[in-house]
Amino acid sequence: MNRLRADLLLLLTAFIWGTAFIAQKNANETMGPILFVGARFLLSTLALLPLACYEASKHPLALTRKDLAQAGLVGLCLFSGASLQQIGLVTTTATNGGFLTALYVVIVPFMVWLLTRQRPRSLVVLACVISIGGAWLLADNGLAKTWNLGDLLVVAADVAWAMGITLIAVFLQRTDRPFFLSFAQYAVTAVLALVCGFIFEPLVMPGITSALPAILYAGLLSGGVAYTLQIVAQKHTPAAEAALIMSLESVFAALAGALLLRERLTPLATVGCGLILLGVLVVEAGPALLRRMKGFRADAQNINPG
């Protein structure tokens, strides 16, 4: 796979994730959020099983206990992130959910620092301040008053997403088994969510039947396709560029919310959206711009040595 094709796959991933917020929001109207998470990732698990088996047949070396433990931990992160996000979408909008989810991009460097002791750059700190300011304006329908519970839960999910992304990178450095990792994280999430859902949420079959289109879209496309494309494509696209492309998820979520759910952004909320995207651009594109500026200065000094 070449770089262009990998970038296009990441763009497709961002589109699927962004539009999936509509399916997730609609599903909350007829069934419990945790049961929905369990149902969608059960479908994702079944979809990835053939690919995981095919991959295993091509890799004679067995997975170690450490590999299995890391895959299970990635699944726990996915369960936490997906559940918190889905519960948050009960009280927040699809637009808010999409933009607040984009904050995971600037949390990842700090998660790497926590796990590997590699300090974040000053540009990362600046990007976090900009993005958090934007998220504050976006919350509560752009009125900048207080965060509602749904907004807080979606932001809490960002921590789980960031931890999962960091652990995925660690796993793939040790073991080149992307389809197994996708299958394992789906399976762990499905089991945990279904158990919790059956315990804490009512099982209403008519509601589940009504949510079936949303389950199919989120399970097959957002889960089975998009999460897997992310892991496969990031083997060919550097992390900074990949994260920037995937951050377009928030833009697609806002567009889908406006077109399908008739959600509207106030002027202040629009400023918040812009600040979040600016924060993502600073943390991902800033270093390249600085290097280019230094190159221009060096060229100017060579032209005018006096």
Per-residue pLDDT reduced to its tens digit, 121-138? 777 777 777 877 776 776
- Average pLDDT of the residues in 199-226: 89
The b-or-e profile of 215-254 (16+ CB within 10 A means b, else e) is bebbbbbbbbbbbbbbbbbbebbeeebbbbbbbbbbbbbb
Q: What is the average pLDDT across 63-75?
A: 92
Percent of the chain past pLDDT 90, that is, above it, reads 24
Cβ atoms of residues 51 and 183 within 8 Å: yes
- Return the residue matching tokens 């770089």: 3
Cβ(88)–Cβ(147) under 8 Å? no
First to last CA, the chain: 49
Residue with tokens 């959600």: 263
pLDDT at 27: 87
**Whole-prediction pTM value?**
0.79
Task: With CA atoms as reference, report the closest residue to 269 among 159, 151, 128.
Answer: 151
pLDDT class for 95, splitting at 50, 70, 90?
Answer: low
Residue spans of the domains in the chain: they are 3-120+145-265
Q: How far apart are CA 78 and CA 158, in angstroms?
A: 10
10-20 as b/e: b if 16+ CB within 10 A = bbbbbbbbbbb
Residue predicted with more confidence, 287 or 162:
162
Q: Which region among 160-164, 229-233, 288-292 has the lowest average model confidence (pLDDT)?
A: 288-292
Cα angle vertex 102, ends 101, 107, to 5°? 95
Banded model confidence at residue 81, pLDDT cuts 50, 70, 90: very high
pLDDT > 70: what percent of the chain? Answer: 80
What angle is formed at CA 247 by the lines to CA 243 and CA 253, rounded to 5 degrees? 155
Query: pLDDT category, 54, cuts 50, 70, 90?
Result: very high
99, 135 in Cβ contact below 8 A? yes
Question: For residue 193, what pLDDT band results from cuts at 50, 70 and 90?
Answer: very high
The band of 88, judged by pLDDT with boundaries at 50, 70 and 90, is confident
Span 31-60, average pLDDT: 92
